Structure 1
Amino acid sequence: MPGIPGMDGGDRGSGRMSGSAAAEGARLKKPSWKDPRLLVGILLVLASVVGVVSLVGAADQTTEAYAAREPIAVGETLTPDKLHRVKVRLGEVEQHYLTPESGLDTGLVAVQRIGKDQLLPRESVGQLDRLDRKPVAVTVEESLPAQAAAGSRVDVWVALPDARNGFSEPALLLSGAEISQITEGSTALGSSRSTVVMVLVPDAQMPKLLGAQANKAKIAVVWNPGGTGR
């Protein structure tokens, strides 16, 4: 029997509307915890959070290390009251510095000059028998340039007395010797100013300098900006 005109079209239209409504309902349906897309999204968020926390934690990995409260001269004994603790990021080089965790051995002295607030490299300290340079006081009457300060280098010249109650030609005794300390002084009568320069002298050169001082030699200290001697 021939169908009624329009009925087939109506059925098809109803079918399309029903399919569209079903699809819309599927889109609006509340996602299930078993939905793999939801689980993947949660895992990605968790991985991102863990990565950020790890990155922040790694950037904030600090450790305590020792630093000098005031400058420490070569030969000066290290004691806790001369040090303070600072938080720094040392990373892989931590083993090369003194830290509260590693402790401070007794009898340690500075074998290199340590500046104020400077960290303490292990190579800058040691036992007294490691100290191959010792400070000797040299008194000079001449003014030193402002650049001559603790840690800078000087040449030490010596003129020995001669047989005519004069002095021989000056000779270079120490080249590039490091200054440990400078102290302003005066003569015994206080009539003129003098400067006491503590110079670090290698053991091998010690007899020559002490001998010159014992023989009342004229000793001059000359600033040597390029000096690298010991």
Structure 2
Amino acid sequence: MPRWLDPKLILGILLVLGSMAAGARILSDNNRTVEVWALKADLAADANIAETSLVATSVRFTSKTNADQYVSAAKFPNGARMLRKVNKGEFLPRNAFTTEEDKSNLVDLPIPIAAQFIPAGVAVNKRVDVYVVPDESKAVPKDGFKVLEDVVVTSVPREAGLTGSNDSKVTLRFGVDPEKIDIDTVVSKLVTGTAVVVLRVGK
């Protein structure tokens, strides 16, 4: 029998070819990347996702399961809003936002406020509390009272906290729960004194 017909030789050749094919597949899988959305800035709960909020990033995941946890950059999540906070630089998780209609009675409330009463760290999607110091007060801290708690900033003056302008305003977004917030009362209190924004650090 010719040597090249030796079953052991044929089996050895098949094993070598199989190993080469498996190695090539592993290398191919390791070099395969996908594009997912990453955050260009912090996004707080209730914040809308704008095109300027995300950037497409190429990533090499170790498994399809890991890749499926994040949103592919092949399609932008139009009309989406955040369900929880995600930080700048993180990939956008599929379970961190929704495109369903919001039924939480959210309102946007513009608050006239002097820029010197807006902390420099206040920015869109940050969470803040709002206090009012009555006009007749001498602005002693104990005279102020809280009118809003843990609400989302949706717009802020460009020079917040850096100028002495008295015509600035901050727009806040929050849900109106009739059992917890009376919007008429909030507005009436805001016009009776000086509003002060307190930044919730880390939120």
Q: In which range does the TM-score fall when normalised by the shorter chain?
A: 0.5 to 0.7
State the aligned residue count.
Answer: 185
Residue in structure 2 matched with residue 53 of structure 1 by the alignment = 24
Residue among 140, 148, 162 paired with 2:122: 148
Is 1:181 paired with 2:155?
A: yes
- Bigger shift: residues 43-52 or 203-212: 203-212
Task: Measure the CA separation in 1 of the matches of 2:54 and 2:158.
Answer: 27
List gaps (5 residues or longer) in structure 2.
none
Shift of 1:75: 5.4
Tell which has more relative contact order, 1 or 2 (C-alpha 8 A, sep 6+). 2
**How do residues 61-76 of structure 1 correspond to structure 2 at under 5 angstroms?**
61-66=32-37, 76=48
Corresponding residue number in structure 2 for 1:33: 4
1:52 partner SS:
helix
- Residue number in structure 2 paired with 1:44: 15
**Which amino acid in the other structure matches residue 182 of structure 1?**
V
Structure 2 equivalent of residue 224 of structure 1: 200
On the 8 A contact 1:98/1:120 being kept in 2, the answer is yes
CA contact (8 A) 1:78 1:110 kept: no
Compute the displacement of 1:193 (Å): 0.9
Structure 1 CA distance for aligned equivalents of residues 11 and 80 of structure 2: 61
Q: Using the alignment, how far apart are the partners of 1:185 and 1:129 within structure 2?
A: 31
**Is the CA contact 1:185–1:193 (under 8 Å) kept in the aligned structure 2?**
no
Unaligned runs of at least 5 residues, structure 1:
1-30
Give the aligned residue type for 1:210.
V
Instruction: Look up the match of 1:23.
Output: none
**Aligned pair partner of 2:165 in 184, 193, 197:** 193
Q: 1:175 to 1:71 in 2, by over 3 A?
A: closer
Equivalence for 1:99:
72
Are residues 109 and 216 of structure 1, via their aligned partners in 2, closer, same or farther at CA, if it must alter by over 3 Å? farther
Tell me the CA shift for residue 219 of structure 1: 1.2
User: Cα 1:203–1:126, aligned 2, differ >3 Å: closer, same or farther?
Assistant: farther
Q: Is the 8 A contact 2:130 2:147 kept in 1?
A: yes
Q: Does structure 2 retain, via aligned residues, the 8 Å contact 1:75–1:134?
A: no
Q: Is 1:212 the equivalent of 2:189?
A: yes
Distance in 1 of aligned mates of 2:24 and 2:108 = 52
Contact persistence 1:109–1:128 (CA under 8 A): no
TM-score for the superposition, normalised by structure 1: 0.58
Q: Judging changes above 3 Å, is the alpha-carbon distance between structure 1 residues 199 and 43 closer, same or farther for their aligned structure 2 residues? A: same
Say whether the 8 Å CA contact 2:111–2:171 is kept in structure 1.
yes
More helix by share: 1
- Check whether the contact 1:66–1:99 (CA below 8 A) recurs between aligned residues: yes
Contact kept? 1:69, 1:117, Cα under 8 Å: yes
1:55 deviates by 1.1
Identity %, equivalent residues: 21
Query: Do 2:41 and 2:87's aligned partners in 1 also have CA atoms closer than 8 Å?
Result: yes
Structure 1 position 129 matched with structure 2 position 106: no
Alpha carbons of structure 1 residues 56 and 134: separation in structure 2 relative to 1, 3 Å: farther
The secondary structure found in structure 2 opposite 1:193 is coil
Aligned CA RMSD, in angstroms, stands at: 4.0
